[in-house]
Each structure stands twice: as C-alpha cells, then as structure tokens.
Amino acid sequence: MKKWTTQKMIYTGMLAAVAGVLMSLEISVPMMPPFYKVDFSDVPSFVALFTMGPASAVMVELIKIVIKLITVGTNSMYVGEFANLVGIALFVIPTWLVYRAGGRTKKAAVRAMAVSVPVRVAFSCCINAFITLPMYAAAMGLPLEQVITSVSAANPAIHNLTTFIILATIPFNLLKNGLNCLVAYFLYSRLVRVRVIEKAVV
C-alpha cells in the first residue's frame, strides 16, 4: 500500500467526520431493545475501504467512535462503543480480502459486503452473549437475566439469552448491516461514476 498522501488523509478525515455524525443519528427499531438502534455510520467506512484500503477504513471506524462519544455520549454505558471497537477487524479484514481478491470491481464490492454481513452477525451473537450483555448488566448493577427480561416490554417473546439472540441480536444486525451495505454500494458506485473519487486510491 502506498504512503498516506495529503489527498488520502483529507478524504479519510472527511469520511470519518461524516461517520461520526451518522453514528449519532440513531433510529429506534420496533420490537427491539432500547439500546439497539440503527445508524448508517458504516457507509463512510465502506467507501473508505473500497477507495483507500483497510488502513483508511480502520481510521474512519476509530475516529467516528471518538466523535460520537464527544458529541453525544453513550446510551449503552460504553458497551456498544466497545463492541464497535472490537468488531473493527472483523469488519475490515474479511471485506477487504474478498474485495481485493475479486479485482476491486463493483461485483467484488457486492461479494465483499455479502461476506461481511454474516460474519458480523455471527460476531454480534458471540460478543453479545459472552461480553457486551454481561458488561452492560454489570455496569447497570443488575443480574444478566433481569437485563434480558427488561426488554420483554418491546418483545414479550424474549425471556432468556437464547431468545434474545434469536429474536433481537440476529434480526437487528441483519437489518442494520444490510441497510448499510445497500446504501454504501449505491453511494460508492455513484462517487466512482461521477469521478468524485477514484477506485482504490491505495
């Protein structure tokens, strides 16, 4: 990968700023726990990844978390931000490897995003079950079972960890990641088509 040029640093900073703003514009989802909210902050990260490579995407992911914490704070006792931080590698590495192996084309971008969605959903199941939910319960000073059952008002079918993962974690992450991939693809295609950015500036 080439060195960080002035152009690359500017583009990365701009995308990170947009991602930070988008991460703060969260949308509640019906039938989901109150701390599960959709945002489109992964869209600039995808654009950075496909146009400038993994290092730029990682910087966008890191900076957007800092911007969100400074401007808005946290609604999950920093657990959601920690999950985002842990998940950066699982987002960037497989997506970039598939995209690069496919020749960095539009079709390769679609394949890469198609791979990233199930990887991130599987990751979210594991990290929710074993890390973030226990951390959130500890931060709130509540038993894990009470945290899980507290969301039953949003979805009465959720009554234990298994139903939480099946009825909340999986559908929410499919929705969020799917929407981000869809918007990212059309934005990336448009930016390349009008030559606002060049493909693979790495």
What are the pLDDT tens digits along the chain (202 aa)? Answer: 457 788 889 999 999 999 988 988 888 888 887 778 899 999 999 999 998 899 999 999 999 888 888 887 776 667 777 777 777 877 888 899 999 999 888 889 999 999 999 998 998 898 888 888 888 788 778 888 888 877 777 788 888 889 999 999 999 999 999 999 999 988 888 877 765 555 544 4
* Contacts (Cβ under 8 Å, ≥6 apart) of 132: 79, 80, 82, 83
Residue type for position 186: F
Nearest to 114 by CA among 177, 192, 183, 186: 177
- Residue 21: Cβ within 10 Å count: 18
- The residue ranges of every structural domain in the chain are 6-193
**How does pLDDT run across 34-66, given as a tens digit for each residue?**
778 899 999 999 999 998 899 999 999 999 888
Q: What is the pLDDT of residue 179?
A: 94
Q: According to the model, what pLDDT value does residue 202 have?
A: 42
The reported pLDDT for the residue numbered 111 is: 93
Q: Which fold has domain 6-193?
A: Arp2/3 complex 21 kDa subunit ARPC3 (1.10.1760)
pTM over 0.75: yes
User: Computed from CA positions of residues 178, 179, 182, 188, in that sequence, does the dihedral angle turn out positive or negative?
Assistant: negative
